[in-house]
Structure 1
Amino acid sequence: MPENTVSEAAAAAFAVPAAGGHRGEPVGSKSHTDGAWHEIPVQTRSERYTSADVSDFDEPTGHEVDWKLTPIKLVADLINGPLDGSPVEVTADAVDGFGLTWVDRTDERIGSAGLPEDRASANAWSAFDKALAIDVTGETPSAEFVVARSGLGTGARAAHTVITASPNSRGLVIIENTGDARLTENVEIVVREGAQLTVVTVQQWNDSAAHLASHFAQVGRDASLTHIVVSLGGSVVRVNPSIHLSDTGSNTEAYGLYFADAGQHLEQRVYIDHEAENSRSRVKYKGALQGEGAHSVWVGDVLIRQTANGTDSYEENRNLVLSEGTRADSIPNLEIETGNILGAGHASSTGRFDDEQLFYLQSRGISEEEARRLVVRGFLAEIIQKIGSPAVEERLTLAVEAELVDAAGGATAFAAPDEAIGGTL
């Protein structure tokens, strides 16, 4: 059995517990697979088994907690099949304060942020030949580094990316995905002491593309990570960020934007792990759905450990339904192991157009169609404006506009949004 730990470098930097701790297998379990959790139920989010070896995981059946909302038949080749692990072509302009290199699997940065929790992630980890390493060393907050990937083809591929922010560095890293792809990948993010890093991934794949991604992040002392996921294109897109607030004063803001069209499945499972004292997190994901069979999934897990005194945390997910025949699954979860916190809460809502907003706009001479577009644009603009790159924000605003033009023809008047789940502590 492979040793269930992250690299020595990560253990030294972030004091990650060894196997049997928060990255170990469930206590008493003899099985190391995501497919066998039903034998001995996982009692807390931190007990999920992790391994970089795909053979340690059973093939999912669709009944597992992590797969039951995913159309696994459409991505079975990425989960179970052989993968092309050769480096994918990327383009990026040289920018002061950022470095871009390909590194071997033996590089000490590999495994410094986390390990796979499911077979798709482990399949990618087992298959990649070289990892794309992005180093952030500058101290200019407005500096941005854009990495573009396009035209990866229709064969099943694996990829691995490691983003490392040096102590006290500042920067914005944007990964833009377009064209054809059948890709399963892992993205590691390490934010060292005092650094402030923003990482944005944009999924604007072609309609037939499939993309499964696991993001692992470690945030150090007095460091901050802003993590943004934008999913607009692709047949099946599943992005799962796992962010660990590993040291005192660590902070994360996790945002997401998605627009699901007819027959499109967009999924995101966010895990925030408060390990250290005085850590802070804010999670906000917003999505719109239109067209028969449009399906979105958002699962938000927040764990506040016994060691995380002084935690301040809040997560929310908002979904706007634009037509009949759509489905939005929204599941916030909150685990608290200490009562000595500043606050924690969650909220989730799935609803339709607010008739009062539409009436207000129409009463001022705006057509019903344009009024609907303005409401949706305003609903999603909050997330786009968090990116911090005017050029990227403008491109995404235009992409959302294109989605709204398609949606306008089938839109009908709906009631105001209904709150589905909410709570604070």
Structure 2
Amino acid sequence: MTSPTTTPTASHYSSAHVDPAAQVADAGFVPVQTRSERPSSFEPADFDAPTGREVNWKHTPVAKLAGLLSDEVGDEFAVTVDLDGVESHLVPEEDVYGEFFRPEDLPSALAWKHAPRGLHLRIDAEDEVQEPLVLRFDGSSAEKRAFGQILIEAMPHSRATVVLDHHGSAQYAQNVEIIVRDGAALTVVSLQRWADDAVHAAAHQARVDANATLKHFVVSFGGGVVRVNPNVELAGAGSEGYLYGLSYADAGQHLESQVYLHHKGPHTKGDVLYKGALQGDNAHSVWIGDVLIGPDATGTDSYEANRNLVLTEGARADSIPNLEIETGDIVGAGHASATGRFDDEQLFYLQARGISEEEARRLVVLGFLSDVVQRLGIPALEAELLEAIETELAAVDA
């Protein structure tokens, strides 16, 4: 295990966040060609402040993230534990951080530097936790900037669901390190239900060991700018990763996820599905999906898809799927992306059966988004999210 105080060598980050065009012009540098080559470092000084021209920032409103790009100590951030007994799983062991996590951008490196250690949620070996373990994050003001560092560790053959529930308002940069040991099954749900003026940049990085399973959900309904980037490595033989996302962007909101799934071990299985709805002027969603099937990932089965439903004029969805395959011995691999408006044939079909246009639109959107909601497997949370979708739809008709 690598100590969190250990930093990569200079060669690992010497060209971090340099515009590819500039790199080509300088014969001394080679552009970063693929997602797997992205530099990493624990030191904020090794990252230039993003300008919006870099490949991993060009769809992001960088100016609105200015508070999370400054190398200054942040404010206190309230974290509460809602479920009795969770305290027994919180283990303040600072030296365990950084076994897999490596910051890949400036906000993440600053969170590594400034965030307090100690929020280590460990599920003991063979333990099966029936109820979701809920960590609630409450911001008190959009003027406050804060950094967070979380380690979620599922020990061998354990079972648990962890929910990270974000509310209120703040400028919050967050690192989430996830380790799923051999034979464990872990579900992690990150809910972004911020106030409209909140700014949230999060890096989730997970390693899944042999015969283990990770289900990872990113659900973003609130916040002015929300950027949650999951990075999952299927490291062990027979490991499985299911990465699901749901977003609903209103006027002026920017909701973004850059997803990276790395099939490293043999006989791994991955499924990526992100769905989003958008409504209102300048509502913007960004999804970038990168899947890498490595040279040793024989017998891999992988698929990624992104679907977006644009409900009104003035909304925009950017969707970019990428797939790299470095071995010819796989079960299957594919990717897909689609963005569109209401299907007139679906609306006509429902209206022809006596359903009003307003109700028909509601049913189409609910059917479109509930596919992801129902994969959560948490009935109470599923009901909350479906109610939130109903509320959003009511705003369209108002």
Per the normalisation by structure 1, the TM-score is: 0.87
Once the two structures are superposed, the pairs formed by residues 102-181 of structure 1 within 5 Å of their partners are: 103=92, 107-137=94-124, 139-140=127-128, 142-154=130-142, 155-181=144-170
Q: Which moved more, 1:61-70 or 1:151-160?
A: 151-160
Which residue does the alignment assign to 1:7?
2
Q: 1:77 aligns with which of 51, 67, 70?
A: 67
Which residue does the alignment assign to 1:377?
366
1:208-237, CA deviations, whole angstroms, 9 ceiling, x for partnerless residues? Answer: 101000000000000000000000000000
The reply on whether 1:261 has 2:244 as its aligned counterpart is no
- Three-state SS of the structure 1 residue aligned to 2:89 is strand
- Name the CA distance, whole Å, in 1 between partners of 2:11 and 2:323: 20
Contact 2:279 2:315 in 1 (8 A): yes
CA drift of 1:161 comes to: 0.5
AA aligned to 1:82 is: E
Contact 2:78 2:139 in 1 (8 A): no
1:120-153, CA deviations, whole angstroms, 9 ceiling, x for partnerless residues? Answer: 1111111112241111226436432111112343
- Name the CA distance, whole Å, in 1 between partners of 2:72 and 2:389: 35
The reply on whether 1:33 has 2:21 as its aligned counterpart is no
The reply on whether 1:92 has 2:82 as its aligned counterpart is yes
1:242-297, CA deviations, whole angstroms, 9 ceiling, x for partnerless residues? Answer: 00011111100000000000111000000001111111100000000000100000
- Name the CA distance, whole Å, in 1 between partners of 2:11 and 2:233: 15
- Name the CA distance, whole Å, in 2 between partners of 1:34 and 1:85: 27
AA aligned to 1:210 is: V
Contact 1:288 1:321 in 2 (8 A): yes
Which residue does the alignment assign to 2:349?
360
1:314-363, CA deviations, whole angstroms, 9 ceiling, x for partnerless residues? Answer: 00000001011111000000011111111110000001111121112212
- Name the CA distance, whole Å, in 2 between partners of 1:263 and 1:285: 21
CA drift of 1:100 comes to: 2.3
Q: Which moved more, 1:356-365 or 1:214-223?
A: 356-365
Once the two structures are superposed, the pairs formed by residues 295-310 of structure 1 within 5 Å of their partners are: 295-310=284-299
Once the two structures are superposed, the pairs formed by residues 253-402 of structure 1 within 5 Å of their partners are: 253-402=242-391
Give the direction of change, closer, same or farther, for the CA distance of 1:285–1:35 in structure 2 (3 Å limit): same
Give the direction of change, closer, same or farther, for the CA distance of 1:146–1:62 in structure 2 (3 Å limit): same
- Name the CA distance, whole Å, in 1 between partners of 2:389 and 2:244: 16
- Three-state SS of the structure 2 residue aligned to 1:205 is coil
Contact 2:111 2:148 in 1 (8 A): yes
- Name the CA distance, whole Å, in 1 between partners of 2:325 and 2:368: 31
AA aligned to 2:42 is: A
Give the direction of change, closer, same or farther, for the CA distance of 1:236–1:366 in structure 2 (3 Å limit): same
- Name the CA distance, whole Å, in 1 between partners of 2:211 and 2:75: 36
- Three-state SS of the structure 1 residue aligned to 2:395 is helix
- Name the CA distance, whole Å, in 2 between partners of 1:394 and 1:357: 25
Give the direction of change, closer, same or farther, for the CA distance of 1:399–1:62 in structure 2 (3 Å limit): same
Per the normalisation by structure 2, the TM-score is: 0.93
The reply on whether 1:42 has 2:32 as its aligned counterpart is yes
Contact 2:235 2:264 in 1 (8 A): yes
AA aligned to 2:301 is: D
Contact 2:3 2:98 in 1 (8 A): no
Give the direction of change, closer, same or farther, for the CA distance of 1:89–1:97 in structure 2 (3 Å limit): closer
- Name the CA distance, whole Å, in 2 between partners of 1:212 and 1:284: 21
- Name the CA distance, whole Å, in 1 between partners of 2:293 and 2:209: 16
- Name the CA distance, whole Å, in 2 between partners of 1:205 and 1:159: 16
Q: 2:212 aligns with which of 200, 223, 244?
A: 223
Q: Which moved more, 1:132-141 or 1:338-347?
A: 132-141
Contact 2:283 2:316 in 1 (8 A): yes
- Name the CA distance, whole Å, in 1 between partners of 2:15 and 2:247: 33
- Name the CA distance, whole Å, in 1 between partners of 2:116 and 2:128: 33
Size of the aligned set, in residue pairs, is: 388
Contact 1:87 1:129 in 2 (8 A): no
- Name the CA distance, whole Å, in 1 between partners of 2:388 and 2:90: 28
Aligned-pair identity (%): 49
- Name the CA distance, whole Å, in 1 between partners of 2:138 and 2:389: 20
1:378-410, CA deviations, whole angstroms, 9 ceiling, x for partnerless residues? Answer: 10001111111111111111111110101124x
Contact 1:211 1:238 in 2 (8 A): yes
User: How well do the aligned residues superpose, as a CA RMSD in angstroms?
Assistant: 2.2
| Structure 2 unpaired stretches of 5+ | 24-29
| Structure 1 unpaired stretches of 5+ | 1-5, 10-17, 410-425
AA aligned to 1:45 is: R
